[in-house]
Structure formats: structure tokens, C-alpha cells
Amino acid sequence: MYPDAHCELDFTTPLELLVATILSAQCTDRRVNKVTPVLFARYRSAADYASANQEELENIIRSTGFYRTKARNIIALGQRLCDEHGGEVPDRLEDLVKLPGVGRKTANVVLGNAFGVPGLTVDTHFGRLVRRFGMTRQTDPVKVEQEIAALFPPEEWTMLSHRLIWHGRRVCHARRPACGACELQHLCPSYGEGPVDEETARRLVRTGPFS
């Protein structure tokens, strides 16, 4: 079944989780966890990141991909945390998403796992899964969040997000969902139908047949 943890990243402080989550964009948590021990030993505070040498930081995080963008963002992030938040990671969504390199996905991961603030993390997997499962027909992530939030108690939101994302990554793929390997096949209205959600279908028309 699914891992019980809400988060597979290794961290001990909100700042560590925030940085690790930024690194995890388009990259597996396993790879992130390989660089964070070195990273966190070298940079221990927002001020450390603010004064980091761009090239040195790039070299440490290179293997996580998009390293130039990420290094720039993390340095700017350190500066902003020092300038506007007393060197601390803010615990409100509105503040988090204003930070460089931090979008809804990253902000919600930090809120849920570092601060215990309930929130749904609607990424591409989450949206696709709840659509296939017939729980909503919305494509706009904000509307998806609203509709799904109404179906579950807040204390389950962080765990729910993690599980759906995890399942989408490993089983319920966009193109060729592994319906045969899915524990939920007998409950799923889209079982065996292939890429049924509109977004994916539209992409397939553009990029060619999926089989």
C-alpha cells in the first residue's frame, strides 16, 4: 500500500523542508535526499542562503536538475526571508506563495508537513486522479481544491494529497494508466478507459496516439 508518511523528504526545520521542496520540482525525493545532507550542513539559516555563492550552491544541487534556476531562487529566497520575515519561514499560504520559487504546490507541502496546517496539494497528479475517479469535473486547480476539500475533514487533507500524488506517479499515469495494477480498479469509473481526462486527451491529440 501507500507509505504512511505525508512527505518523503528528509528535514528537521521548516527552512530545510522549504528548500528541499523547491529542489524536488521535476525530480524524485530520493535524489533530493541525496544532496540535502551536504546542503544543510553548509547552509543553516536564511542568512546563509542569502549570502551563498551561486556557483558553489549550483554544484551542490546540480544533480536535482534545473540547478541554475533553483540556486537563483534559493539565494533570493534567503534574502527575502531575512528582509521581510525575520529570517523565518512564514506559516501562511499568502506569504509563502510570494516567495521566489515557491508556488501553490511547494507552499502547501510546507504548510502541511512543517506547520501542521491542513491543505490540499493539487498538483497535476492530484487533479487527474480525482477527475478520473469521478469526484470532480473541474480542471482549474483552485476549483478542484474547493470541491475535494468539501468531501474530507481537514485533518486528512495533507495525507490525502500525498497518497493521490504518490498513486498518480506510480500507477495512474497520464498517458497509460496501469489499471491492471491498481488497487482501486473495481471502484474506478474510468477503469480500463485509458487517458480519459480532458486535459490529457487534448494533449494526446496534439502529440499523437498513446499506443
Partner DNA sequence: ATCCCGAGGG
Partner DNA sequence: CCCTCTGGAT
Sites of contact with DNA (CB under 7 A) = 8, 22, 24-29, 31, 62-63, 65-69, 73, 97, 99-107, 123-125, 162, 165-166, 168-169, 173-175, 199, 206
Q: Are 174 and 103 in contact (CB under 8 A)?
A: no
Instruction: Please give the C-alpha separations between residue 37 and each of 16, 26, 40, 144, 164, in angstroms, as whole numbers.
Output: 10, 20, 5, 36, 28
Catalytic residue among 34, 98, 123, 197: 123
Q: Pick the closest to residue 35 from 7, 56, 50, 14 (CA basis).
A: 56
CB of 7 to DNA, least distance (A): 8
Q: Which of 48, 70, 95, 105 is catalytic?
A: 105
Residue 87 to residue 89: CA distance in whole angstroms: 7
Select 22 or 188, whichever has its Cβ closest to DNA: 22
Least distance in angstroms from the C-beta of 37 to DNA = 16
Binding-site positions read 172, 179, 182, 188
Of 43 and 161, which has the nearer Cβ to DNA?
A: 161
Verify whether residue 123 is a known catalytic residue.
yes
Binding site for [4Fe-4S] cluster, residues? 172, 179, 182, 188
Minimum gap (Å) between residue 166 Cβ and DNA: 5
The CA-to-CA distance between both ends of the chain, in Å, stands at 28
Closest CA to 196 of 126, 129, 141, 121: 129
Catalytic residue annotation: 105, 123
